[in-house]
Amino acid sequence: MPQAVVHVLLTIIALDLIRDYAVRKRNLIPLHYLFVGGIAGLIPDADIPVYWLVKNVLGYEVGWFHRTITHSLMFPAAMLLITLIAVLLFRDKKRWLFFAVLTFGFSMHLLLDGLLTGYIPLFYPFSDVRYGLNLLGNIGWPAIVEGLEAVILLVWLYDLDRRHRLRDYW
């Protein structure tokens, strides 16, 4: 599983690239929505602290349920439906865009988990079949995999400096 930092960083970077390159109107996606998207990129792993709370604090013996319901397509589909309803109800784009960013962040998490490490049950609870490419799961060098987040951060910071001349703010 990619670390939490990778989920947050790649979601923020993807939204930033969409904001700066795909969407020409820079004010379409407010800058603080990148932060919202980063948080949404962590939501599927909320089942880990819930498991810990139920087992260790409440004292109920439960089986490990990480990568079950929160890693299925049910949540992104529900959030997409909420986004579409918000588009119909609200004329103000910032209201429905908020839900779209949440949907994007959640979906990025599933994409990263399915592509990079392991397999996810896309159609859970209707099917237990797990899908994924597990591209990094077979690498025997954990230091390289764990160092991936540092490389991603440095490349993104370089790109930010190139696009926005961050060194002018020093």
Handedness of CA 126, 101, 109, 132 (dihedral sign): positive
Count CB atoms within 10 A of the CB of residue 90. Answer: 14
Residue 28 has pLDDT above 90, yes or no: no
Residue 1 has pLDDT above 90, yes or no: no
Q: Is the Cβ–Cβ distance between 64 and 51 less than 8 Å? A: yes
Question: 112-148, pLDDT tens digit by residue?
Answer: 988 887 889 999 889 989 998 888 776 655 666 667 7
Residue 80 has pLDDT above 70, yes or no: yes
User: Can you give the pLDDT at residue 141?
Assistant: 54
- Composition of the chain by helix, strand, coil, percent to 5: 65, 0, 30
User: Could you give phi then psi for residue 130, rounded to 5 degrees?
Assistant: -110, 140
Residue 103's pLDDT band (cuts 50, 70, 90): very high
Angle between helices 93-116 and 4-17 (to 10 degrees): 130
Residue 166's pLDDT band (cuts 50, 70, 90): low
Global pTM value: 0.82
User: Can you give the pLDDT at residue 44?
Assistant: 92
Residue 64's pLDDT band (cuts 50, 70, 90): confident
- Averaged pLDDT score across all residues of the chain: 84
Q: Which of 170, 154, 139, 150 is nearest to 3 (CA)?
A: 150
User: Can you give the pLDDT at residue 74?
Assistant: 92
User: Can you give the pLDDT at residue 66?
Assistant: 81
